[in-house]
Amino acid sequence: MVHVRVVTDSAAYISEEKVEQLGIRVLPHTTYWDHVSFRDQVDLSREEFFHRLHVGEASLRVLPPSVAAFRQAYAELSQETDAILSVHVSGRLSETCRVASQAAEAFLGRCQIAVVDSLTSSLGLGILATAAAEAGAAGQSLDKVVHLMRGMIPHIYGVFFTEDLEYLEHAGRIGRAQSLLGSMLGIKPFLIIEEGEIIPMEKVTTRERVIDKLVEFVAEFSTLEQLGVVQSRVETEETQSLVERLHLLFPDKEFPVVLYDPVLAYHIGPNNIGLMIYEGMY
């Protein structure tokens, strides 16, 4: 039986074991520091990426995989299947979906390629790509896999706090006056990914209150399928405290701690902590 194959991008957090086991094709974004380019997690590890971002090394740009890269991936997979699900980081944060759709046009009549905007990133995107690959491996049709994605997307949530208001300003999320005033007052915006867009929701002034707000957000869920902590540093005492409090709410769950991706970093900067939540489908 010919299975649906899955393509995603390096904004997705997926374990190497899952990528290999399910045959997921992951195309890297390219990060530019001034005029020097690095392929995400190919030429530059996530740890090194955040080291550069933390020390303020040069100016950052993040570009999606090229049309040529997508065409090559689709051409190779079309030798193995006639159905490809290409699911990518939110189109409100990156041009990746647009580039993928452009590349897919060359395969009309030869291979079915469905491009899906995940409206999320990081672990949320990884959850979707993994579920799509598992459904494909189980023999589900491309239409059914797309339907699965459409059903799951509204149940994935991303919430963050940031201390780097200049990144929100640069990305057009807040104005210059808000950025200056917030920095002076030590305000840490509570951000949520809604319909693929990063939206400031509330303001907090202490790091301790940041953790309280994250726990309060999770406590609103009656069921929880997957949840992970996303941040820009290796695990800290703050992270351990957060995970311990999450275990009190959902003692039977595991809470992976992962470094988020350059696409998110471009919009919210370093020094952040947040959660990616999949509540499951009822």
Tens digit of each residue's pLDDT (9 = 90 or more) over 141-162: 999 999 999 999 999 999 988 7
Asked if pLDDT for residue 4 goes beyond 80, the answer is yes
pLDDT at 61: 87
Tokens in use for 100?
Answer: 């993928």
Asked if pLDDT for residue 93 goes beyond 70, the answer is yes
Tokens in use for 226?
Answer: 């997957």
Residue 139 dihedral angles phi and psi, to the nearest 5°: 95, 10
Cα–Cα dist 247/256, whole Å: 12
Query: What are the extents of the domains in the chain?
Result: 5-154, 156-278
Closest CA to 100 of 82, 85, 78: 85
Asked if pLDDT for residue 57 goes beyond 60, the answer is no
Class in CATH terms, 156-278: alpha beta
**If you average pLDDT over residues 62-73, what whole number do you get?**
97
Closest CA to 38 of 61, 6, 11: 61
Cα–Cα dist 146/125, whole Å: 14
Instruction: Write down the pTM of the prediction.
Output: 0.91
**If you average pLDDT over residues 200-224, what whole number do you get?**
84
Work out the mean pLDDT of the chain and round it to a whole number: 88
Strand bridging mode 257-259 / 60-63: unpaired
pLDDT at 230: 94
pLDDT at 87: 98
* Topology of the domain comprising 5-154: Rossmann fold (3.40.50)
| Contact partners, residue 278, CB within 8 Å, separation at least 6 | 124, 127, 152, 155, 156, 157, 224, 225, 226, 227
| Contact partners, residue 147, CB within 8 Å, separation at least 6 | none
Q: Any idea which residue has 């090559």 for tokens?
A: 72
| pLDDT tens-place string over residues 161-198 | 877 666 655 555 444 334 333 443 345 678 889 999 88
Asked if pLDDT for residue 271 goes beyond 50, the answer is yes
Cα–Cα dist 135/85, whole Å: 11
**If you average pLDDT over residues 265-274, what whole number do you get?**
85
| Contact partners, residue 94, CB within 8 Å, separation at least 6 | 11, 29, 62, 64, 88, 263
What percent of the chain stands above pLDDT 90? 66
pLDDT at 183: 41
pLDDT at 205: 63
